[in-house]
Structure 1
Amino acid sequence: MTNTFTGITQKQFHDFMEFEVDGPFQMINLLKFKDKVEETGTTGAEAYAQYMNAILPFFQDTSAKVIYQGKPLFGLIGPENTIEWDKILIVEYESKQEFIGMITKEGYPADMRSRALSDSRLILCTSK
């Protein structure tokens, strides 16, 4: 069975807290949606769209901004005839403190994100 990942573990959060990041950075989100979300009866894509609407106030309280979102269509390198992800999203944050403050703020709907996904990756990048 393949491991799937839909949320941050305690260890990953701890390691991230220890990781040094100066200034702005980007988070690449690789997203694989559930066909159907049992709790809501919606598709994973619909549930994720609801999550994105729910986090808008959290984005507005920080300087977070979506700099890219799109649907992968064709893979040039990798397994043939396979697109592993349903959506790619890149969000830019001004600082690590803003990001942590956002995802730990009371009411942040992390459960909505996890519920919509069958698998995901969240990869921190910088342009340095």
Structure 2
Amino acid sequence: MIVTNKVDISPEQMAAFFDAPEDGPFIMVNLLKFKDKAEYADGSDANLSGREAYMRYGVAVQKCITDVGARSVSSARVTGLMMGEVEDLWDIVALVEYPSLAAMEKMVTSPEYQEISVHRKAGLAGQLNIKAKSTGG
């Protein structure tokens, strides 16, 4: 298994994800890895850590999440790995429940989301986003 963290989604990945058949509510598992230092395109806030820059996004994105009927379920600092192997652990795991693919697409394409994503890009070294469906149990 190859694991590759990314910060930006390719147009092809975005189209494939959002063009999938609608199958109702899901949880997006976000595995986040932060840069040591924030890297804003305009060179501002060079004194911030990647985590601090991302937390600016994390606070602001809560409104975007609730505006589309989604909700933050949980977030936690990664403190260890019990089983398996990865070269470098992620820093945080965050879970967000979306009512539909359409709701998530509406959020990530909104002007409000696009405006705050500068903090996400400044702070993240990479991430994995995993769509998960309830097994009903």
Fold match by TM threshold 0.5? yes
How far off is 1:3 after superposition?
5.1
1:111 paired with 2:87, answer no
* Counterpart contact for 2:35–2:49, Cα < 8 Å: yes
TM-score between both structures, scaled by the size of structure 2: 0.82
Structural mapping, 1:1-128, within 5 Å? 4-39=5-40, 40-41=45-46, 42-79=48-85, 84-108=89-113, 109-128=116-135
Aligned residues: 126
Which structure 1 residue ranges, 4+ long, deviate > 4 Å from structure 2? none
Identity, in percent, stands at 31
Task: Return 31-40 or 84-93, whichever deviates more.
Answer: 31-40
Unaligned runs of 5+ in 2: none
User: CA RMSD for the aligned pairs?
Assistant: 1.9
CA contact (8 A) 1:74 1:83 kept: no
Deviation of 1:52 after TM superposition, in Å, equals: 1.1
**AA aligned opposite 1:96:** L
List runs of 5+ in structure 1 lacking aligned partners: none
**Alpha-carbon distance in structure 2 between the residues aligned to 1:122 and 1:98:** 16
